């Protein structure tokens, strides 16, 4: 299967079976699309064009770079746990309108995870990790920095237990940066493999949704903390992670704002909400896809000027990247990755937290509901409905189980709105890769 | 004229299972497997990550 697409004046052919990307002229692209992708009428194409295109296809086909057969890899079905999202705090010092976590409370009471429960979660992870050496814990909330002292104790405990069990922990924290002071900064820089800072971009965009408990915008309270932190971070990983909504479908402005304010590792995600004024609908799709193209062009302009930055969704590695087994496996939620709420309850991931239908156990008894886990273990690209003929399937793996469930009612039914955005992002990423390789 | 831009260096089918959890990345809502790197290769290239 091939996918032929254009980006402005550039034409590309992506071969799904081999994962190869090719560039071609417009006439060849039009012919290949008509003949091999759309199955349409090719009688209008001059015979000499068809002959030339077929002659060029032949050696690529023989080399396994075009029309390559798809290899049916087996999904990863490990029974070992590799990562936990620790909801260290079901409370937040912001009241963001679009928060999927009910402004930190997860549709329940506001509470903090006790040190004892957090340590039990660490024990649970180690006990269920089999022979896997590298384990991951993400401190999540609510706002984790409301519980910095607990996080410090948990990190120390986990490192000690890891050393005794031949493991190594990689820690991540997701924070709104409101309490990202010198103490937190120093601790994060010493201990966190990755830090995700929530910041939506321009002040007016950020303040419209990310408000304090008294209803004021939080931009001025967090921007300096975020900048100072990033400056202090050195070579360690971080992402400034924004959310765009129906109110800012011109989100390339926000990405550029962040890039111009010294953040060089940026992600900008579509909102997941049912609040009508913020929710992204099919009616927004055309504008959003245009905006991704605009972002790709602006990204390349910055790159050309030697001011390049890292945009999460424009990263694509067609020469290396993950193996096919990983590409056909879903994200690992409910199988290798779980979230743990403040009372120790275990859910498939943070986006299922609080939904009793997906309650899988508790770290205090250490058991996981085998019936629910089996549903997630069986999830893969091959169980996703409608992914078979999608060119992006080995890149997105069938999408997010939680989004699928919340919007389509079935973890295996891809959420069509996010599919469209994903495909556009992949095309932009491929265009960027091609231009970088061509020296722009 | 068809010009190859990028192709996989090797056909990696079977997984070692050492890759990082997809959801520990930047997004938390629209995870993409294809933009991850192979953890085994990353660690081979950066031995300090094994320590």
Neighbours of A164 (CB within 10 A): 9
Q: Are A385 and A408 in contact (CB under 8 A)?
A: no
Q: Measured between CB atoms, does B18 come within 8 Å of chain A?
A: yes
- Mean residue pLDDT of chain B comes to 79
List all residues of chain A from 304 to 333 with a beta carbon under 8 Å from chain B: 312-313, 315-327, 329, 331-333
Helix/strand/coil percentages in chain B, nearest 5: 25, 10, 65
- Chain B residues whose CB is inside 8 A of the A195 CB are none
Pick the residue from chain B with its C-alpha nearest to A138.
B24
Question: Using CB atoms within 10 A of its CB, is residue A353 exposed (0-12), middle (13-18) or buried (19+)?
Answer: buried
Q: Are A347 and A373 in contact (CB under 8 A)?
A: no
Whole-model pTM: value is 0.95
pLDDT at B47 over 70: no
- Chain A residues whose CB is inside 8 A of the B3 CB are 22-24
| Partner-chain residue, chosen from A21, A336, A395, that has the shortest CB–CB distance to B33 | A395
Q: Would you state the pLDDT for residue A79?
A: 80
Of how many residues is chain B composed?
A: 51
Q: Would you state the pLDDT for residue B48?
A: 62
* Interface with chain A: mutation pick from B9, B16, B17, highest number of A CBs within 10 Å: B17
DSSP state, residue A106: T
Q: Are A117 and A342 in contact (CB under 8 A)?
A: yes
Q: Please tell me the distance from the alpha carbon of residue A258 to that of residue A268, in angstroms, as a whole number.
A: 10
- Chain A residues whose CB is inside 8 A of the B12 CB are 322-324
Q: What is the mean pLDDT of each run of 10 residues along chain A (440 residues)?
A: 97 97 97 92 94 97 97 85 95 94 83 97 97 94 97 98 96 97 98 96 98 96 98 91 97 98 96 94 98 98 97 92 89 92 96 95 95 93 94 93 93 94 97 95
Of A177, A183, A330, the C-alpha closest to A258 is A177
- Chain A residues whose CB is inside 8 A of the B22 CB are 331-332, 337, 397
Q: Please tell me the distance from the alpha carbon of residue A350 to that of residue A175, in angstroms, as a whole number.
A: 15
Q: What is the pLDDT of residues A17-35, one digit of tens each?
A: 999 999 999 999 999 999 9
Question: Using CB atoms within 10 A of its CB, is residue A371 exposed (0-12), middle (13-18) or buried (19+)?
Answer: exposed
Distance from CA of B8 to the nearest CA of A (A): 4
Element (H, E) at A24: strand A20-24
Q: Would you state the pLDDT for residue B50?
A: 52
Of A77, A79, A141, A82, the C-alpha closest to A112 is A141
Q: Do B23 and A323 lie within an 8 Å CB cutoff?
A: no
Q: Would you state the pLDDT for residue A315?
A: 92
**How does A3-23 read in b/e, with b if 16+ C-beta sit within 10 Å?**
bbbebeebbbbbbbbbbbbbb
Quickly count helices (H) and strands (E) in chain B: 1, 1
Give CA angle at A263 (A254, A319), nearest 5°.
95
* Interface with chain B: mutation pick from A326, A384, A419, highest number of B CBs within 10 Å: A326
Q: Do B29 and A20 lie within an 8 Å CB cutoff?
A: no
DSSP state, residue B23: G
Q: Would you state the pLDDT for residue A142?
A: 93
The pairing of strands A111-112 and A89-90 is antiparallel
The ipTM (two decimal places) reads 0.90
* Interface with chain A: mutation pick from B1, B7, B11, highest number of A CBs within 10 Å: B7
């Amino acid at each position: 299967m091939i996918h032929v697409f254009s980006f402005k004046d550039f034409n590309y052919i992506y071969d799904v079976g081999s994962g190869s990307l090719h560039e071609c002229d417009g006439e060849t692209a039009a012919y290949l699309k008509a003949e091999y992708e759309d199955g349409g009428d090719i009688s209008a194409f001059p015979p000499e064009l068809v002959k030339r295109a077929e002659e060029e296809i032949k050696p690529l086909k023989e080399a396994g770079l075009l029309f390559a057969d798809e290899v049916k890899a087996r999904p990863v079905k490990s029974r070992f746990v590799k990562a936990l999202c620790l909801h260290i705090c079901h409370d937040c010092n912001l009241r963001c309108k679009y928060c999927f976590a009910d402004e930190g409370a997860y549709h329940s009471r506001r509470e903090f995870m006790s040190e004892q429960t957090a340590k039990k979660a660490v024990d649970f992870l180690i006990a269920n990790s089999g022979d896997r050496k590298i384990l991951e814990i993400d401190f999540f909330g609510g706002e984790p920095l409301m519980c910095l002292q607990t996080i410090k104790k948990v990190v120390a405990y986990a490192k000690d237990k890891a050393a005794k069990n031949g493991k190594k922990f990689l820690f991540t924290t997701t924070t709104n940066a409101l309490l990202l002071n010198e103490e937190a900064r120093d601790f994060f820089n010493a201990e966190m493999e990755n830090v995700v800072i929530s910041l939506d971009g321009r002040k007016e965009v950020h303040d419209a949704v990310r408000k304090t408990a008294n209803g004021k915008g939080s931009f001025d309270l967090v921007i300096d903390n975020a900048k100072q932190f990033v400056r202090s971070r050195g070579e360690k990983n971080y992402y400034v992670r924004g959310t765009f909504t129906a109110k800012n479908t011109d989100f390339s402005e926000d990405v550029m704002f962040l890039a111009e304010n010294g953040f060089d590792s940026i992600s900008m995600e579509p909102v997941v909400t049912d609040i009508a004024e913020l929710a992204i609908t099919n009616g927004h799709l055309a504008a959003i896809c245009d905006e991704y193209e605009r972002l790709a062009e602006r990204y390349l302009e910055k790159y050309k000027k030697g001011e390049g930055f890292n945009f999460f969704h424009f990263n694509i590695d067609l020469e290396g990247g993950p193996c096919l087994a990983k590409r056909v496996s879903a994200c690992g939620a409910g199988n290798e990755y779980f979230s743990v709420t403040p009372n120790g309850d275990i859910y498939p991931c943070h986006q299922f937290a609080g939904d009793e239908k997906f309650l899988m156990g508790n770290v205090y008894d250490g058991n996981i509901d085998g019936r629910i886990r089996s549903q997630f273990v069986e999830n893969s690209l091959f169980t996703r409905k409608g992914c078979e003929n999608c060119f992006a399937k080995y890149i997105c793996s069938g999408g997010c189980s939680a989004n699928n469930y919340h919007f389509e009612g079935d973890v295996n039914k891809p959420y069509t709105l996010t599919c469209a955005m994903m495909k556009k992002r992949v095309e932009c990423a491929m265009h960027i890769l091609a231009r970088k390789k061509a020296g722009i | 004229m068809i010009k190859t831009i990028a192709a996989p260096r090797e056909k990696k089918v079977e997984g070692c299972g050492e890759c990082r959890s997809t959801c520990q990345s930047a997004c938390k809502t629209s995870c993409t497997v294809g933009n991850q790197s192979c953890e085994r290769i990353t660690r081979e290239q950066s031995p300090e990550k094994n320590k």
